[in-house]
Amino acid sequence: MNVRSPIFSLVLLLSALAPIGPLAGPAFAQRAASPPAVDSLHVGSDNGFVPGAELTFTVAGTPRGKASVRISRIARNIPLKEVSSGVYEGGYTIRRKDRITISNTVRATLRAGKRSIGETYALPSQFGPAPVAAVPAAAKSAVARIDRFTVAPIGIIEPGADLSFAMTGTPGASVYFTIEGVVNNVPMREVSSGQYEGSYTIRRLDHFPSNVNIFGTLEANGITTGARLNQALIADAKPPVISNVTPRDGETVAVSKRTSISATFDDGGGVGIDPKSIRVRVSGRDITQNSQITPKFFNYYSANLQPGRYPVEVTARDLAGNEVRHTWTFFVALQAAPAATLPLQVLNHANNSQISGGTTEVRGRTAPDAQVDVRVQGISSLAGLFGVTQQIHDQSLRADANGYFGFSFRPQFAVAGTRYEITLNATKADLNTETKLVLFQQQ
């Protein structure tokens, strides 16, 4: 596994330490008073303040508003999106001409209705070379701070597994964690001064999406602050898999105005593919920018490929840094195959298309009266769904006098992101042809 630069983060408190209303898990409770308010600002970076580093901002405050941040001496307003009630997130890539140091400040603005409020914060000193100034004892007793919120990664999200959380912050506080959509306000105990621990045992019906939000909350001295977990739950040591390549390895296809080259990605219940890491090369030429790239598949359509040999190379990494490389070769000829081969094609779905959660119909064409064997498997590859493979449909049918055939399938549970691998095998006399269609459940 590649070792990435550690992500530095700090929850910044308002300089005026006025009492702030309590947090309700990740959804920060809305105040009875009408003016909007900002509770806290969390700043993260994947590589300090160097050009190209990604800064992340999380503002907690009044729900259903519009939030933004601005870094002093940077003439750009950074909009934030409300990702859960009262929690706003956004990012900024440091440009070469930017000169950001710990002397810069960040202005967080939140507007609700016709009213707005702005609060100014200092950037985290951990990002810069300057030493951290000692905090007077009197000031320490008057704040509520979270220095660190972490989890011990586990091998797989499954019923019975324990998630162990740790927090470092103000001593003598009341501390909780919330797993959004799963459990709210689980208490954490203070095991030593300012060190808190808590755990949660996963239940059979719990659902953990790959982007689950987990928040820690600390209440001390009449002040409440929160931090979002910026860490993967899964200790992902396995590289992803590239499969379902088209054209198939060694296959010969006919010269066409539009040749489709594609493959699917499967991280086997890991943390998921980083789409920015995907690179696709055909005959040594990088065609990534001209491809449709997603965390689940890539599609590339090439016009008028000339007869010849075409090697394909695909490389990718998952979000844990595990790398994969897959190569295969196909051929283009004036005639794709001898005449003594059964035709077999799907008429109403392109490869890697998305389908809705209801009944899916598939129509195709082969030789008249040919037997067609159909097998449909569903693979749930999102983190938290345990990499389950389900046998959804198995059928033998016969094409009509014109070679047309059709069938339908409906999964018992339509889980967003599920990959459906449909294998079709046509047989007539001594001839046999197989093809595969991949469809994805809509998000």
pLDDT above 80 (res 387): no
Whether cis (ω within 30° of 0) applies to the bond prior to 171 is: no
Here the tokens at position 331 are: 């051929």
Contact 263, 298 (CB under 8 A): yes
Most confident of 100-104, 195-199, 251-255, 354-358: 195-199
Superfamily of domain 344-441: Immunoglobulins (2.60.40.10)
Q: Which of 279, 385, 274 is nearest to 325 (CA)?
A: 279
| Region 268-273 average pLDDT | 73
pLDDT-derived band at 34 (thresholds 50, 70, 90) equals low
Here the tokens at position 186 are: 């689980």
pLDDT-derived band at 210 (thresholds 50, 70, 90) equals low
Angle 375-268-317 from CA coordinates, rounded to 5°: 125
Contact 181, 212 (CB under 8 A): yes
Which residues of the chain does CATH 2.60.40.10 include?
344-441
User: Phi and psi at residue 88, in whole multiples of 5°?
Assistant: -120, 135
Listed in sequence order, the residues at least 6 apart from 174 whose beta carbon sits closer than 8 Å to its beta carbon are: 187, 218, 219, 220
pLDDT above 50 (res 15): no
Residue with tokens 């007077």: 136
Provide the mean pLDDT of the chain: 81
pLDDT above 90 (res 346): yes
> Higher confidence at residue 429 or residue 29?
429
pLDDT at residue 138 in the model: 44
Tens digit of each residue's pLDDT (9 = 90 or more) over 152-165? 888 777 888 889 99
pLDDT above 70 (res 139): no
pLDDT at residue 60 in the model: 85
pLDDT-derived band at 38 (thresholds 50, 70, 90) equals confident
pLDDT at residue 308 in the model: 93
pLDDT above 80 (res 224): yes
**CA 345, CA 364: separation in Å to the nearest integer?**
6
Least confident of 104-108, 136-140, 147-151, 206-210: 136-140
Helices (H), 31-176: 137-140
pLDDT at residue 382 in the model: 46
Using a pLDDT cut of 70, give the percent of the chain over it: 83
Listed in sequence order, the residues at least 6 apart from 52 whose beta carbon sits closer than 8 Å to its beta carbon are: 93, 94
Tens digit of each residue's pLDDT (9 = 90 or more) over 363-376? 999 999 999 999 99
pLDDT above 70 (res 14): no
Q: Options 2.60.40.1220, 3.40.50.150, 3.20.20.70, 3.40.1390.10; which CATH number does 241-333 get?
A: 2.60.40.1220
Which residues of the chain does CATH 2.60.40.1220 include?
241-333
pLDDT at residue 2 in the model: 40
pLDDT above 60 (res 425): yes
Contact 441, 357 (CB under 8 A): yes
Contact 432, 425 (CB under 8 A): yes
